[in-house]
Amino acid sequence: MHSQLKNYLSEELKKIKDAGLFKYERIIESQQSAEIIVKGKKCLNFCANNYLGLSSHPELIKAAHQGIDNRGFGMSSVRFICGTQDIHKTLERKVADFLGMEDCILFSSCFDANGALFEPLMGEEDAIITDALNHASIIDGIRLSKAKRWIYNHGDMRDVEEIDPTTGKIGKGLERCLKEAQSCRFRLIATDGVFSMDGDIAKLDEICSLAEKYNAIVMVDDSHATGFMGKTGRGTHEYRGVMGKVDIITTTFGKALGGASGGCIAGPQEVIDWMRNKARPYLFSNTIPPAVVNATIRVMDILTQSTELRDKLEKNTKYFRQKMLAAGFDIIPGEHPIVPIMFGKYPDCSKLAVEFANRMLEEGKLIFNDLAFCSSILTLVSYSGSLISVTNPPWNLLFNLSSSFAIASGGLSEIKMTCLFSEYKALKVLKNSL
């Protein structure tokens, strides 16, 4: 490696480590589940996106084996040459029907789906209007397009342009952006359905009303909602009562829908046909392998037949939020299984969030997602600060977390943390409903 680049990277990595923000991988020595083995000991897992507990479900493992037995290991081709099997078309049909869309196209991930969508769909004479806190894959996908861009303040539907007191920068509401983009040929509003850092749910009802008023297209990345948000788990468009009004949905199979890999774009027939002919990740890379396709077909069947899994997740989410509040933690209110625990009121909060997550693993056999951010990023909360993002344990285990956590400040230059654990045991194991 070029010596200057190597030295530069070493110095920058040291800065990240010194700030306590270096990302280390925790090695799991078991299947993905509510209870996993890390460093030889059992831990409760509160940071996977395994919302419905399907990642290691025996029905999916069986279906994956059948996929390999009947259709082989891989495709060794892109879709339009000789990389499409009958099961790929079956999965596309089932996903489209589940989401209430005309058709669906598969990608190797939702990151790829978002990377594929904007460039062929929106040109120089068009406008993309995007939420300020959208996922990195939406941001990167939009960058590939030549369309004009507007960014609206997170969740702000208003017709305003004002200075954000936390950043000093001028920000706009969605309606103001739509007004400014009226001279463009097409206008597309892009938003996450659920924002994964703090679990807040997009105001799709208001977004769709504004889209109708200003003749705009609505695109939603529903990766953190498909399978469990809404009465039947269709996603945030069902949760907000706007099924039939959202034009394009991208989502993943790597979270609630089995947790392996794969993603898709679902929408009008013309949009999907256009993607099949113009979307570069579809045209120039292999699709999902047969094992994952067959297992995901089984997921769609399970979720179509019953809402039991999402109903249990909803119950567990309410229980966990209530208990965390009762224990004195500062969490952002909401209904989503993502539960942000805020540390912004403590000195050196970014390091504390990381240290807290590490100590929970060491002392309490709990594993959290230690997402630590600089205080300027989280402008949504009443005070800025760092957080630990917690995802509820999957549907099949309901735990009695009779734990108490004490955080003591030892002066401005040092924070000491103590985790005081009382009983920590499973209250009951819910029977497998399948």
Domain membership flag for residue 144: yes
Considering the domain architecture, whether residues 117 and 47 belong to the same structural domain is answered as no
Task: Determine which one of 55, 109, 137, 196 is catalytic.
Answer: 196
CATH number, domain of 79, equals: 3.40.640.10
- Structure confidence at residue 24 (pLDDT): 84
- Structure confidence at residue 395 (pLDDT): 38
Domain membership flag for residue 12: no
* Domain extent at residue 396: 28-56+307-429
Report the predicted TM-score, pTM, of the whole model to 2 decimal places. 0.86
Considering the domain architecture, whether residues 203 and 271 belong to the same structural domain is answered as yes
Query: What total number of domains does the chain contain?
Result: 2
Of 365, 366, 348, 362, the residue nearest 407 (C-alpha): 348
* Boundary (domain end) residue, out of 269, 287, 305: 305
Task: Determine which one of 154, 224, 336, 351 is catalytic.
Answer: 224
CA-to-CA distance for 330 and 328, rounded, in angstroms?
Answer: 7
Model pLDDT for residues 203-226, shown as the tens digit of each residue: 999 999 999 999 999 999 999 999
| Low-confidence stretches of the chain (pLDDT beneath 50) | 370-385, 393-434
The whole-chain average pLDDT of the chain stands at: 84
- Identify whether 224 is a catalytic site residue: yes
Domain membership flag for residue 18: no
- Structure confidence at residue 331 (pLDDT): 85
Domain membership flag for residue 2: no
Domain membership flag for residue 321: yes
Of 149, 335, 141, 304, the residue nearest 224 (C-alpha): 335
The HSE-up count of residue 93 (CA atoms within 13 Å, CB side) is 5
Task: Determine which one of 94, 148, 172, 255 is catalytic.
Answer: 255
- Identify whether 318 is a catalytic site residue: no
* Boundary (domain end) residue, out of 254, 283, 305: 305
Domain membership flag for residue 22: no
* Boundary (domain end) residue, out of 305, 331, 365: 305
- Identify whether 169 is a catalytic site residue: no
Q: Are 225 and 235 in contact (CB under 8 A)?
A: yes
What's the Cα-to-Cα distance from 40 to each of 23, 27, 50, 108, rounded to whole Å?
A: 21, 10, 21, 32
- Structure confidence at residue 419 (pLDDT): 27
DSSP annotation of 369 reads B
- Structure confidence at residue 169 (pLDDT): 87
